[in-house]
Structure 1
């Protein structure tokens, strides 16, 4: 393996580790909600599909973490899918139930952090997939 190839692999591993740490932080947050309110909480009356989606992230996020290291390309793809769907879904909920969205975004730093993570993942995914 060339030194350049080693550097690509190392950068890919570093990026996947950052993704994993962020997903583990999200996993922790989802499990705190489950511990506090239970698996069947409706998030104060929001649509059941939304509640199911948010609860499912307690399982999907750590599954993506495992994939990031065992099957890196599948893990990066799963990370992209999870964060893009989560951001789109959360913005839809904000627009539908908590308009105006821009004011609400100022009051919800977690959503801003998700958007930043999404931009980071989308901008670095190609490098994160480098295995050779």
Structure 2
């Protein structure tokens, strides 16, 4: 980043609909994931082992039933909600790929048989490609160093 650029969150004064639409897409996808997690919790209970996976993995998947809707609520605060969305989808995809790679090698063959993971990967790529816009973070150039900052009022030379 150049010395005369800063990263800042711009207010939604202009009605940045694009950012709001992106966050709405994030919210819909997270709501769909919430439904999936809660349907598993409803059918099998909080301590389901998902067919014999390690407790760490099953706890992670179950807790997504709580974390995903929390991220949806946090999306009303663009920076916090988008950061939460990025963290959730990246950790979920990395975890799921690790589990599939470990239990169903070879990984690429296994990926072809799990369409839900392909959908997660597509969503992750979409989120990573659009997260700056969704969070309304832009690089803006400072016009020039402020004279007022250099010389407090009444002390200009």
TM-score by length of 1: 0.92
Q: 2:33 aligned with 1:26, yes or no?
A: yes
**Structure whose alpha-carbon radius of gyration is higher:** 2
Q: Indicate the residue corresponding to 2:49 in structure 1.
A: 42
Deviation of 1:6 after TM superposition, in Å, equals 2.5
In structure 1, what is the Cα distance between the partners aligned to 2:89 and 2:42?
A: 23
Q: 1:1-132 residue pairs with structure 2 within 5 A?
A: 6=14, 9-69=16-76, 71-130=77-136
Residue ranges of structure 2 left out of the alignment (5+ in a row): 1-12, 139-157
Give the aligned partner of residue 147 of structure 2. none
**Higher helix proportion, which one?**
1
CA distance in 2, matches of 1:6, 1:92: 43
What CA distance in whole angstroms lies between the structure 2 residues aligned with 1:30 and 1:54?
A: 7
TM-score between both structures, scaled by the size of structure 2: 0.77
Bigger proportion of residues as strand: 2
Shift of 1:131: 7.6
Q: Secondary structure at the match of 1:39?
A: coil
> Aligned residue pairs: how many?
127
Taking only aligned residues, the RMSD between alpha carbons, in angstroms, comes to 1.7
Q: Stretches of 4+ moved more than 6 A in 1?
A: none
Q: Deviations over 1:13-69 (max 9, x none)?
A: 000000000000000000111111111001111110000000000000000000001
